[in-house]
Structures are given as structure tokens and as C-alpha cells.
Amino acid sequence: MSVLAVIPARGGSKRIPRKNIRDFAGRPILAWPIAAARDSGLFDTVMVSTEDDAIADAARAAGAEVPFLRSPATADDHSTLLDVLAEVVAAYRDQGRTFDTVCCLLATAALVTPEGLKHGHELFASGEFDSVFPVVRFGSPIQRALRRDAAGQTAMLAPEHYASRSQDLEPAYHDAGQFYWMSAAACLAKTPTFSGRAGSFVVDETAVQDIDTLTDWRLAELKFAMLGRAPEPDA
């Protein structure tokens, strides 16, 4: 079984400019998931998909390959991860290289570990699921969520749960924003990750951080330190 890690890293991030190569604990942030993928021993190839020469250089310096640059069609603000994965798998196929299994690993998943990747791969390899990814439990019951309008008027989304006890409500989970295991065939077909026989495993919210804002970035740095992860030593 041939296994590919794809790390999408577009150069045009808006909310945090140059996010994918911004320094995080002494390395460009994408170097951390690259290192986790390489250290896991799971992958025949670890590649970064980008249209940006500086990101490509940083990826290669961290030990990933960048055999081709992303096309303009998948480098805009509207392209999805599935678009990127389909393009990568097809491009490798055109070069005569085929893979059975793909892991899409996010470039800003600085807290990801080889052990987490291995656990996800083990679940996927069991054959029980079409895709596998880590999830985090919502801290509060979503059944008691509130809506708020522009004037500040606030109301429950599900008022029937006004008197429900939190411990009596079904827990809900959200995507951890770290990685997704799937087949190469599913990538080519652009099969939605959360459809069909999607599988997941729960991780603690202290061990993950999706990064979209500078506040998210700071939280990731705090969690990184709290987990005892060692920053890259100064040269």
C-alpha cells in the first residue's frame, strides 16, 4: 500500500498574511506537520501543494517534496481541499506515480503528533470507514446555543432545551482541523470527507488549535508550550 501525505499551503492567506511560513516556535509553521508526518514513518511521500515559490522553498528545506506547483484553478480563495487533493493525485498519476491512501495534513497543524497520525491511519486501515479525522467535543451543549441580532437581541436557537440539563443532552463534536485520511480514489472523485462512512476519534481541545486569526495563533503557541513541545533551538 502506497501512502501519500498532502499538505496544502496556499500563499494568499488573508487574515494572517504569509501564515503558512510564519515563524512558530523557531520554524516556519508548516515545518511542524512536515516533521510529524516524516517521524510517523507512515508515508512513502510527504508533499506540499502550493503556488508560492517561498512556501515551496520552505517546504523543501523542512524535508517535503514539491514536485509541481499548484495550478491557478486551485490557488484562489474559492478552491476547496478536495479540489487540491484531486489535482495532486491526478498530477502524480500523470507522472506514473500512484497511491492507495492519502492523508491531507493542514499546514498550520503545529500541534499534530506522529502518534495522532498513526492512530488515524490505524482506524482507516481497519476498513470500517471511508475517511477518518480527529474531532473535538464542543465545550458547551450546542442545543443551548444562542443567536444574536445586530441590535443585541438574544434568543435560544432551540428554546425547547431551556430547562434541559447539560448532562442530559447529546454531546456534539467539531472537526479538529488537523488531518483527514481517505483513499486516493476518493480524492479523485472529490468525495466529501464527512459523508458516507466517515469515522473519527476524539482529541482533547488542549491538543489542537485551528488557526484563522492572530488570537488563534497565540492560543496555539500557548498550547504548544503547555504540552511541553520543544521549540527549535536558535542557530
Q: In this predicted model, what pLDDT tens digit does every residue of 127-162 receive, in sequence order?
A: 999 999 999 999 999 999 999 999 999 999 999 999
Does a structural domain hold residue 231? no
105 domain residue, yes or no? yes
Mean pLDDT of 108-130: 97
Q: In terms of residue numbers, what domain contains 85?
A: 3-134+173-226
Contact 176, 168 (CB under 8 A): no
Distance of CA 57 to the CA centre of its chain: 21
The reported pTM is 0.92
Is residue 147 situated within a structural domain? no
- Triad 76, 103, 73: Cα angle to 5°: 20
Q: Residue 116: which CATH number? A: 3.90.550.10
Per-residue pLDDT reduced to its tens digit, 85-110: 999 999 999 999 999 999 999 999 99
Cell of 52: 508560492
pLDDT at position 232 is 59
**Alpha helix (H) residue ranges in the chain:** 31-40, 53-62, 81-94, 114-125, 184-189, 214-226
Could you tell me which residues come within 8 angstroms of residue 96 by beta carbon, excluding any fewer than 6 positions away? Answer: none
- Give me the number of domains the chain comprises: 1
Q: How many helices (H) and strands (E) does the chain have?
A: 6, 11
Computed over every residue of the chain, the mean pLDDT equals 94
Task: Tell me if 84 is assigned to some domain.
Answer: yes
